[in-house]
Amino acid sequence: MAKRSAQRKSKSKQSDDVVQLTHPERVYWDDAGITKQDLAYYYRDVWDWIAPHVVRRPLALLRCPDGASGQCFFQKHAHATFNQGHIQRVRDGKEEIIFIEDLSGLIALAQAGVLEVHVWGSTIDSIDTCDRLVFDLDPGPGVAWADVITAARELRTRLAKMKLESFVKTTGGKGFHVVVPLVGTDWDTAKDFAHQLAVAMEEDAPDRYVSNMAKSKRKGRIFVDYLRNARGATAVVAYSTRARPAAPVSTPIDWSEVTPKLMADKFNLGNVRPRLARLRNDPWKEIGKIKQKLPAL
């Protein structure tokens, strides 16, 4: 216990060195009274948990300079207000890709008003190789929460039958992300696999699932969003906050937690840290160690 306490104090001191903000009192979530400083300290405290999922991955950022209730916009390129020493840039043909390498980079994003951090399913070192497949289960109007729970479990079972282990997290919205780690595949293969699986779910239960993104087709059904598995497409990263009321957090969970007792909006900036302190094991501890390839459908 003493060793853990010493490590925590050391980590806190080290983190304080990088939390250098202008206007730290600026409120980012006015309904919850959460400031820029609060966001920076949150990322400092969960850095060990978020780092494996965000470091050296191409980013797309939702910036809300005036807070979650103000105007927000997506950005995939560097901005003049970005700390050039901590937010890295590389060229990808004619495009610019941004990424971070350490806690300082994440704090720099918070400083720039980034309230959501989204990542590609690849790393900056192998941009054309998809190493994480993401299925976004997005319930349409009229879908009961119990049906979303059932959908997540069904998707896991379908993947398991193909010898694919999957991981799950809340999105900070209404559904789940089911994530499949891979040794790596090309983007066309990844998207085609995800598309075929989404179509199969729709064909087997057209009253419950839809693979078409048209909002007119989603009423009473769950959109099995496979479109996040294309080059340049992104999904919100694990442990990122969302620019929504009460500062929800996209939170990795164990499959045993996917029960009707789990509410979609359970996790937020205020309760994720106590949750992590109570956990005996990281639900996503093995996600970077699993070596599996996509089978042919």
Average model confidence (pLDDT) across the chain: 92
At residue 182 the predicted structure's pLDDT band, cuts being 50, 70 and 90, is: very high
What is the per-residue pLDDT across 237-286, written as a single tens digit (0 to 9) for each?
999 999 999 999 999 999 999 999 999 999 999 999 999 999 999 999 99
How big is the CA angle at 181 (ends 178 and 186), to the nearest 5 degrees?
A: 110
What is the CB neighbour count within 10 angstroms for residue 107? Answer: 24
Residue bearing the bigger pLDDT, 297 or 267: 267
Give the three-state DSSP class for 143: coil
pLDDT at residue number 2: 37
Sorted by where each begins, the domain ranges of the chain are 2-119, 127-266
CATH number of 127-266: 3.30.70.3300
Tell whether domain 2-119 is in CATH 3.90.920.10.
Answer: yes
**With 80 as the cut, is the pLDDT of residue 67 above it?**
yes
> Of 276, 266, 288, which Cα lies nearest the Cα of 44?
276
Indicate the residue type of 116.
E
CA distance 142 to 55: 38
**With 80 as the cut, is the pLDDT of residue 30 above it?**
yes
**With 90 as the cut, is the pLDDT of residue 180 above it?**
yes
pLDDT at residue number 16: 44
Specify the DSSP class assigned to residue 246: T
**With 90 as the cut, is the pLDDT of residue 1 above it?**
no
> Of 14, 32, 45, which Cα lies nearest the Cα of 239?
45
> Of 147, 161, 163, which Cα lies nearest the Cα of 290?
163
At residue 18 the predicted structure's pLDDT band, cuts being 50, 70 and 90, is: low
CA distance 174 to 266: 11
What is the per-residue pLDDT across 201-225, written as a single tens digit (0 to 9) for each?
999 999 999 999 888 889 999 999 9
> Of 61, 62, 43, 37, which Cα lies nearest the Cα of 102?
43
Query: DSSP readout, 70-115?
Result: S--EEE-S--TTS-TTTEEEEEETTEEEEEE-SHHHHHHHHHTTEE
% of the chain exceeding 90 in pLDDT = 84
Query: 103: which 2 tokens?
Result: 């806690």
pLDDT at residue number 197: 98
CA distance 179 to 156: 10
**With 90 as the cut, is the pLDDT of residue 13 above it?**
no
**With 70 as the cut, is the pLDDT of residue 130 above it?**
yes
Range 89-100 average pLDDT: 90
% of the chain exceeding 70 in pLDDT = 93
pLDDT at residue number 10: 39
